[in-house]
Structure 1
Amino acid sequence: MPDWLDVFVRALLFLIILFLVTKLLGKKQLSQLSYFEYVVGITIGSIGAEVITGLERSILVGIIGIVTTAALPFLVGFISLKSKTLRDLVEGKGTVFIKDGKIMEENLKKERYTTDELLELLRKKDVFQVSDVEFAVLDATGDLSVMLKKENQPLTAKDLNLVVASVKEPQTVIMDGEILDEPLATIGRSRGWLHTELEKLGVTIENVFLGQINSYGELTVDLFDDILQVPSPQERPLLLSTMKKCQADLELFALGTENKEAKQIYEKNSENLQKAIDKVTHILKS
């Protein structure tokens, strides 16, 4: 076999093996490498490169080396589940950089981080002033987790004692002009309903690049032709407008009648409808 063909076959073979090994090791190898996993990754890559280009070396020996190296994370991971000491040694521990609003200079030196690097990490978290931070820790993965002081944290619906509707993940029902039946069935919709909604928007299925249904049951679409404008769903705003009009009509009826009993009924129903509007406005606003 010519050398160039031998290298080609070896490269193809080891690419497949490395892909399978990486899949077995899991996504953590891609996103959250510990010191140990980082070393394992380098070692596997080095073995693969050495065997691919070293024509005098046996492919079987390289495969054994890669499999042996890849098996170590499984063994260490299994033991780490039962031993926090080993887990801290292999995966590392978080280091506190800011505590009670004060920078821990010794911890910065320990991790060999400069003040500029700390400020850069904070800026990545949209924090530009150290005094706004209550607590910050450098995780074992190298990411900085930041907790702002209470007065600097954004307001939530809970802080304002507001009840908000739960939001579910959107379902993609159209992709590349093709209807996806499984997501449609998941939310209890049919193809007939989908075609009706598309007619309301004035588009055909062939023109839709991506179509999604949100948690309110509304269809939103992105077309192949970016020049065309598609109106946003109007069912919720129209319902809110109708409720407000009904409430206003009840007030007018109460003002326009001389019958005391009828006036009380109109006023009471107007108040009840206004309370209902107040509860659902945040849901029906687009």
Structure 2
Amino acid sequence: MQDWLEIVIRTLTAVIILFTMTKVLGKRQISQLSLFEYITGITMGNIAAYVSLDLDNEWYLGLLALSVWVAVSVGFEFATLKSKKLRDFIDGRATVLIERGILLRENLFKERLTIDELLEQLRKKDVFRVADVEFAIMEQSGEINVMLKQEQQPLTPNMLGLKINEESEPKTVVMDGNILEYSLRSSGRDSNWLKKQLRDQKMKVEDVFLGQIDGKGELSVQTGEKTIEPAKPKDPKTQMISLMKQFETELKLQESLSLNELDKSEYQKAIHKLQALLDRK
């Protein structure tokens, strides 16, 4: 067999086997690598190159080496699932870098992390002042996660005591001009409803690049040139209710920010009156 042909066959074989073994090792090999997984990935790549190009040795020896590495790696993964001590030894532990706004110099030195590098990672998390950080932790993967102090965290509906309706995942019902029947049925709609919605917009299914139905059952359409959103309600009653709900939310926000009980009481009275009006609508 000619050398070039043998290299082609070896390379294709190595690619197939390497792909199969990577699937066996699981998704962590291509996402968050531990130190051992990092070494395994580099070594397997080198062995695959050896299988492809080293014509002076038997190719099956390279495959044997790959199999041993995969077996050892899979064995370590199962072992670390069962043993916390082994997991800490193989994968390492998370390290606290900032605690209650204070830099932990010893832990920075332990992770060989300069202040410049830490500040860069904080800026990637939209944090520009160390004093605003409650905790910053370096995970085993090397990623730094940050928790801001409570007074620096953005307001959430839960903090304001607001109840928010649950959101459901938007369903993609049209893609590249084709109706996705399964997604359409799971959204509670059918093709007749879909075609009627498109006719109202003077469109055909073939014109739709992407169509999605949101949690409210409304259809939004992408044509590749523009986005067509669901029509907003135009009747005055619906608009008034919507505005009153927005005003209620603003009143609850002001109540939560009140500095004394008298102001809070006034906001509560206004909220109760507004809620009574909404109940009558």
The answer to whether structure 1 residue 137 and structure 2 residue 141 are counterparts is no
Q: Which runs of 4+ in 1 moved over 2 A?
A: 241-247, 270-277
The answer to whether structure 1 residue 232 and structure 2 residue 229 are counterparts is yes
- What is the SS of the residue equivalent to 1:220? strand
How far apart, CA to CA, are the structure 2 residues paired with 1:96 and 1:202? Answer: 58
The answer to whether structure 1 residue 83 and structure 2 residue 83 are counterparts is yes
Q: What is the match of residue 72 of structure 2?
A: 72
The CA deviation at 1:275 is 3.5
Q: What is the match of residue 113 of structure 1?
A: 113
CA contact (8 A) 1:210 1:222 kept: yes
Assess, with a 3 A threshold, how the Cα gap between structure 1 residues 36 and 245 changes in structure 2: closer, same or farther. closer
Q: Which amino acid aligns with 1:274?
A: L
CA contact (8 A) 2:241 2:278 kept: no
Percent identity, aligned pairs only, is: 45
CA contact (8 A) 1:137 1:145 kept: yes
Counterparts of 1:177-188 in structure 2, within 5 Å, are 177-188=177-188
The CA deviation at 1:273 is 5.3
Q: What is the match of residue 264 of structure 2?
A: none
How far apart, CA to CA, are the structure 2 residues paired with 1:208 and 1:127? Answer: 41
How far apart, CA to CA, are the structure 1 residues paired with 2:120 and 2:137? Answer: 14
Look at both structures and tell me which one has the larger radius of gyration over its CA atoms: 1
Q: What is the match of residue 278 of structure 2?
A: 274
How far apart, CA to CA, are the structure 1 residues paired with 2:279 and 2:144? Answer: 45
**What CA RMSD, in Å, does the superposition of the two structures yield over aligned residues?**
2.0
The CA deviation at 1:276 is 6.6
Q: What is the match of residue 31 of structure 1?
A: 31
Q: What is the match of residue 258 of structure 1?
A: none
Q: How many residues align?
A: 250
The CA deviation at 1:201 is 2.3
How far apart, CA to CA, are the structure 2 residues paired with 1:43 and 1:164? Answer: 51
How far apart, CA to CA, are the structure 2 residues paired with 1:154 and 1:93? Answer: 29
Assess, with a 3 A threshold, how the Cα gap between structure 1 residues 116 and 193 changes in structure 2: closer, same or farther. same
- What is the SS of the residue equivalent to 1:81? helix
> Any gaps of 5 or more consecutive residues in structure 2?
243-273
Partner deviation per Cα, 1:122-180 (whole Å, 9 max, x = no partner): 01111111111010000000110100000000110011111111101111111110000
The CA deviation at 1:97 is 0.4
Q: What is the match of residue 56 of structure 1?
A: 56
Q: What is the match of residue 16 of structure 2?
A: 16
Q: How high is the TM-score relative to the length of structure 2?
A: 0.84
- What is the SS of the residue equivalent to 2:185? helix
Q: What is the match of residue 176 of structure 1?
A: 176
CA contact (8 A) 1:201 1:230 kept: no
The CA deviation at 1:272 is 5.1
Q: Which amino acid aligns with 2:231?
A: Q
- What is the SS of the residue equivalent to 1:157? coil
Q: Which amino acid aligns with 1:234?
A: A
Q: How high is the TM-score relative to the length of structure 1?
A: 0.83
Q: Which amino acid aligns with 2:66?
A: I
